Amino acid sequence: MRAVTLWAVTLFCSLFFTTAAQADRCQQIRAGLDMGSGTTKIAVARVNVCQQRIEQLLYQDQRAVAWNEALAHAADNQLNSSITHAGAAALRELLTQAQRFHPQRISGVATAVFRHASNGQAVVEALQRQAGVPLTIISQQQEAKLGFLSAKAALNDPTLRDDQLLVWDIGGGSMQMTAWQQQAGEPVAEIYQGKLASVTLKNFILRVLKNQPDAASPNPIGSWRPSVLRFVQFYAANDVSPQLKQAVAGRRVIGIGGVHGFSIRNQLPGKPTRYTLAMLTHLSQQQVWKGDSELSGDYRATDVSNLLLVEGYMQALKIDEVTVVEASLIQGVLLQ
């Protein structure tokens, strides 16, 4: 009997320590960077690499870096040394804070503005050398898939199927919509890769409608509101594929990225996690008459035009409601 008991204790201890070791191997502290066209974001999290799950967010922060604005005013389609220095300084600040959590892995992605600038790759390589972390310029399709992965991670609902969602990500220089569906028994991503986004719409209003190409802000937009909405509706109706328009019906639309999660949400009373087209229309009718002095924050030059951007797309694609999820590309970067 004593031998049996000793065997049972030995077996239990062996299983316990094996399970504990396995659990320990699955845990990793990771840091992720998302260098967008107008904002550089960072997050540090405890990640279960075996189950591909973010278990605890330890730190997150962001800095406004006007990459897209600098490129829009560049005659040679290059990011100049001034904005590169500002971007490097923001990166150093964020990484200094992240290092307090001793991440075992740091990785980052760079998006639209670095794809468009003729020296985008050289700038990212210089930032990578200075910061000592790997940074990769990703394609718009990769950005869309990463955004979908981030949204699913942030929703944290294992019962949700991919084919129940459409993830809508808007940044400074690009817009992505992603819907997964089955084709011949295989999951296939239907992806919209749009060029009309936060900064590009703002510049359209200034250059084409107002004929003020050197102005920093289009505010107040005022009586130009109907013209802006007609342009956005026409653009969306003709730019989005019939397949994706069809996919919108019956799916839950998840808004991620700075335009949905920061700009739109912060302008709505009570900062709701869901907003309807009716709510957005009512708000934009009020906000278009405000100048920069009546608005606040680092992004006030695009806040009002962001309302019209989202409102116009919702009208064109018959989207009644958007659920806002606090996610960017970072969750996907952390999980990959």
Strands 165-170 and 274-276: unpaired
Residue spans of beta strands (DSSP E) within 49-95: 53-64
> Model confidence over 20-78: pLDDT tens digits?
444 578 999 999 999 998 899 999 999 999 988 899 999 999 999 999 889 988 999 99
Question: Residue 264: its pLDDT value, please?
Answer: 96
As a whole number of Å, the CA-based R_g of the chain is 23
241 has a pLDDT exceeding 80: yes
Task: For 297, list phi and psi in degrees, rounded to 5.
Answer: 95, 170
Question: Residue 109: its pLDDT value, please?
Answer: 96
7 has a pLDDT exceeding 80: no
184 — pLDDT class (breaks 50, 70, 90)? confident
Structural domains in the chain, CATH included, are 27-138 (3.30.420.40), 142-331 (3.30.420.150)
113 has a pLDDT exceeding 70: yes
18 has a pLDDT exceeding 90: no
Please give the Cα distance from 217 to 219 (Å, whole number). 6
> Model confidence over 146-161: pLDDT tens digits?
999 999 988 989 899 9
Which of 15-24, 109-118, 210-219, 300-309 shows the lowest mean pLDDT across its residues?
A: 15-24
Q: Is the dihedral of CA 279, 281, 284, 289 positive or negative?
A: negative
Question: Residue 19: its pLDDT value, please?
Answer: 46
8 has a pLDDT exceeding 70: no
- Per DSSP, helices labelled H in 240-276 are 242-248, 257-258, 265-267
3 has a pLDDT exceeding 90: no
247 has a pLDDT exceeding 60: yes
